[in-house]
Amino acid sequence: LGISRVSFLPHAQIDRPARGCRPNTRVILAQPYLGEAAKSTCRGARAQPILTAPFPLGEEGTTGLAQGHCRCIRRGWGTLRRHHGRPAGGARARQWRRSAPSWREGVCSCFPIPQIEPSIARFLYRETGADSGRDRLALPASAPYGTDLALIADGPVISEGQDVDLQLDRVRAARPDLTVCGLGLANPLEAEGLATKWAIELVFTPVHGYEQAGDLAALFARPLERRARIGLSGALRTPASGGIEPPSAAPARAQAGHRSGIWQGAAE
């Protein structure tokens, strides 16, 4: 973008003053939820930075963030596009969407994950073809959400409030393909036959930007893939006989499909 001097704020040591915040310094927010932080950190900057963009999850989110940055520094989006070239991670995300095995109902529920549920909902809804319900803890009315919420205005049910039992009722009623939730709820929901994704993995795994879009998609695919893998086919049944005689000698082979898999009985 032709910017030669870049500092990342705040400094790694929190008590050190931010370097280089002079009256003519421009500040760009690394992500759209930093409004309050910017107010306290960037005192002395020429203007309070405002970033209207989605969180950089997936292809659309990353492009949206880059466009937001372009607006902040008044550069054309085309320049940035030329710089980035074709977003490969985005392509992988789209590829995954086409081959997602068990995204049958396209319904996904999301329990509170501080501040990023709208972004996850946007990614799942607009980039992977899932519908998404959302429940977030009560947040200050001024909390900045970037533009993720606006992008899903036409889509998923958004339920606000912090009543876990009510949200569980909604999840049980919807029977979503996948529920994004914390570890406290994951196993109990799995025991009810509902696939889950640990929200904490979204914190531990690099999921931002084009490069990680495919990895992000794969995070949501993994619990579904596991269910598809386990106990399905019976194709690996022990062949009826050892090496001594052909399998046809077996008098009482269990019929293939007698039990479709180890899940039978386990979920009850």
Indicate the residue among 161 and 188 with the shorter CB distance to another protein.
Answer: 188
Q: Find the shortest distance in angstroms from Cβ 70 to another protein.
A: 22
Q: Which is nearer to another protein, 92 or 146 (CB)?
A: 92
The DSSP call for residue 10 is: S
265 binds another protein (CB under 8 A): yes
CA-atom Rg of the chain in angstroms: 24
Q: Strands 178-181 and 158-160: what pairing? A: unpaired
User: Which residue, 143 or 230, has its beta carbon nearer to another protein?
Assistant: 230
Q: Which stretch binds another protein (CB under 8 A): 53-61, 123-131, 169-177, 260-268?
A: 260-268
Among 19, 26, 172, 226, contact with another protein (rule: CB under 8 A): 226
Selected from 91, 157, 158, 174, the binder of another protein by CB under 8 A is 91
Nearer to another protein, 173 or 249 (CB): 249
Minimum CB separation of residue 20 from another protein in Å reads: 25
Among 24, 142, 238, 248, binds another protein (CB under 8 A): 238
Among 223, 218, 217, 214, smallest CA distance to 194 is for 223
Write the DSSP string, 118-166.
Answer: HHHHHIIIIIS--EEEEEE----TT---TTHHHHTTTSS-EEES--HHH
Q: Is 234 exposed, middle or buried (0-12, 13-18, 19+ CB in 10 A)?
A: middle
Does residue 253 touch another protein according to CB under 8 A?
Answer: yes
> Residue 35 in 3-state DSSP?
helix
CB of 77 vs another protein, minimal distance in Å: 21
The CA distance from 55 to 148, in Å, is 7
Shortest Å, Cβ 80 to another protein: 17
Q: Which of residues 149-208 bind another protein (CB under 8 A)?
A: 183, 186-187, 190-191, 196, 198, 200-201, 204-205
Give the closest residue to 132 by CA, choosing from 96, 182, 171, 100: 171
C-alpha triplet 107, 119, 87: angle, nearest 5°: 100
Dist. CA 93–CA 177, nearest whole Å = 18
What does each C-alpha distance from 97 to 133, 173, 218, 220 come to in angstroms?
Answer: 19, 25, 10, 11
CB distance 149 to 173 below 8 Å? no
Which of 112, 171, 214, 216 lies at the binding interface for another protein (CB under 8 A)? 214
Query: Of 3 and 235, which has the nearer Cβ to another protein?
Result: 235
Nearer to another protein, 151 or 189 (CB): 189
Greatest Cα pair distance, the chain, in angstroms, is: 89
Mark the segment that binds another protein (CB under 8 A) among 5-13, 24-32, 119-127, 242-250.
Answer: 242-250
User: Which residues of the chain form contacts with another protein (CB under 8 A)?
Assistant: 88-89, 91-92, 183, 186-187, 190-191, 196, 198, 200-201, 204-205, 211, 214, 222-223, 225-226, 229-245, 250-255, 258-259, 261-263, 265-266
